Amino acid sequence: MAIHSNTSSASRRLMLSIALVILGAALVDLFGVRAYRAYTRLHPEALATGTTDVAAIRGWMTLPYIARAYGVPEDTLFAALAIPKAGNERLNVKQLVAKYGRDPLATRQAIQQVLLHERRMPTPSGGTP
């Protein structure tokens, strides 16, 4: 009877160990997928410098980032939104909209208009006229 009890106890321990390993693998998978999704949301693909599609403006972008990506002066973007540059360089568009109580759509359209206008303007070449 003692042999049967040890076999039954070992069998239970083995089954419990297998169940715990499966549960652990499922939890690792679940939280791994969640971590990957969070990572992709926080680190979207960057825009290439000289981007031309003004519809690519997103709320996570800062005005200096937009200026570099589209090749326009930062000061022009801040001036178009009537927002001081000091203290706002690190805030993204969504944060600026909330901070200054602006309409998100109107803010995005204002940025797009500046980008379109700046793209049409020729850049000075530095040569003599």
Q: Which of 43, 46, 65 is nearest to 115 (CA)?
A: 65
Q: Is the pLDDT of residue 11 over 80?
A: yes
Q: Per residue in 82-113, pLDDT tens?
A: 999 999 999 999 999 999 999 999 999 999 99
CB 65 within 8 A of CB 59: no
Residue 3 within a domain? yes
My answer on whether 63 and 95 are in the same domain is yes
Residue 129 within a domain? no
Q: Which residue has the tokens 């602006």?
A: 102
Q: Per residue in 51-72, pLDDT tens?
A: 567 788 888 999 999 998 888 9
DSSP state of 54: G
Residue 6 within a domain? yes
Number of domains observed in the structure of the chain: 2
Q: What is the pLDDT of residue 129?
A: 47
My answer on whether 29 and 64 are in the same domain is no
- Residue with more model confidence, 8 or 128: 8
Confidence of residue 76 (pLDDT cuts 50, 70, 90): very high
CB 80 within 8 A of CB 110: yes
Q: Which domain holds residue 13?
A: 1-43
Q: Which of 88, 20, 89, 93 is nearest to 61 (CA)?
A: 93
My answer on whether 30 and 71 are in the same domain is no
pTM above 0.85, yes or no: no
Q: What is the pLDDT of residue 52?
A: 64
| Three-state secondary-structure class, residue 123 | coil
My answer on whether 61 and 115 are in the same domain is yes
CB 72 within 8 A of CB 114: yes
Residue 93 within a domain? yes
